[in-house]
Amino acid sequence: MLAQKRIQVDGKIALDTQQLIGPFNQVVLDHKLLQQCCAQYWMMNKPVGVVSATKDKIHKTVIELLNPDCATDLHIVGRLDLNSSGLILLTNDGSWSSALTKPANKVPKRYRVDLAEELSADYITAFANGMYFGYENITTLPATLTIIGDRRAEVELFEGKYHQIKRMFGRFRNPVLALHRTSIGELQLCPALQPGQYRALSASEVASLTFTDQ
């Protein structure tokens, strides 16, 4: 069929038996569409009280907030806790999302954190040194904490352990009152998005979060 020039990939006649076809290539045989699936990339401002999951018996999920026409086969890139808010990414491109969450790619995630008690310089050192969590037997990677108010900090992490930020402030017996993710890598949460709103990423935003080492 290749030799007879009957196959087109993304609008071009395919001749090479070694050509790799991915899930998002358009494939046509004798003018009949065999495969067409567009990669989708969305950012959402996750509201508090909505769960980062595809299904949940009790709470509304981020997938349920999407228009059903664009929700097909989307998965969530990394998670935010039920009572956290802010930037969350959704896609149907598994290799993009796995590269983005791969620790070796060191993608920074930034959070604004409101606390019950006042902060001090000790927090900066403790976050930078890493904290040992016996339950998982891990020490957290160096994290940057910037004090931006008496009870407000910005935290930058390169990983996402279970309830990591809350547990790190827990070491100081300082409860987290609000946790909001403001950026992932270069990508900032669009300020026009109200909680629960979402928009497609531009091609340059997708490219800014694309890693060659997938």
Q: Measured from the CB of residue 46, what is the shortest distance to ligand URA in angstroms?
A: 9
Query: What are 78's two structure tokens?
Result: 């990394």
User: Residue numbers of the site for ligand URA (CB under 6 A)?
Assistant: 80-81, 84, 163-166, 179
Please count the CA atoms within 13 angstroms of the CA of 71 that sit on its side-chain side: 12
Q: Measured from the CB of residue 155, what is the shortest distance to ligand URA in angstroms?
A: 8
Q: Is 81 a catalytic residue?
A: yes
Contacts of residues 79-82 at CB distance under 8 Å and 24 or more positions apart, as own/partner, are: 79/52, 79/53, 79/160, 80/46, 80/52, 80/179, 80/181, 81/52, 81/163, 81/166, 81/179, 82/48, 82/49, 82/50, 82/51
Q: Which is nearer to ligand URA, 5 or 102 (CB)?
A: 102
Q: Measured from the CB of residue 115, what is the shortest distance to ligand URA in angstroms?
A: 12
Spot the catalytic one: 16, 30, 73, 81: 81
Q: Which is nearer to ligand URA, 60 or 163 (CB)?
A: 163
Q: Which of 82, 109, 45, 64 is nearest to 178 (CA)?
A: 82
Q: Which of 87, 113, 86, 112 is nearest to 100 (CA)?
A: 87
**44 contacts 71 by C-beta, under 8 angstroms:** no
Q: Which is nearer to ligand URA, 63 or 179 (CB)?
A: 179
Q: Which is nearer to ligand URA, 9 or 123 (CB)?
A: 123
Q: Measured from the CB of residue 123, what is the shortest distance to ligand URA in angstroms?
A: 15
Q: Which is nearer to ligand URA, 83 or 202 (CB)?
A: 83
Q: Measured from the CB of residue 119, what is the shortest distance to ligand URA in angstroms?
A: 16
Catalytic positions, written as ranges: 81
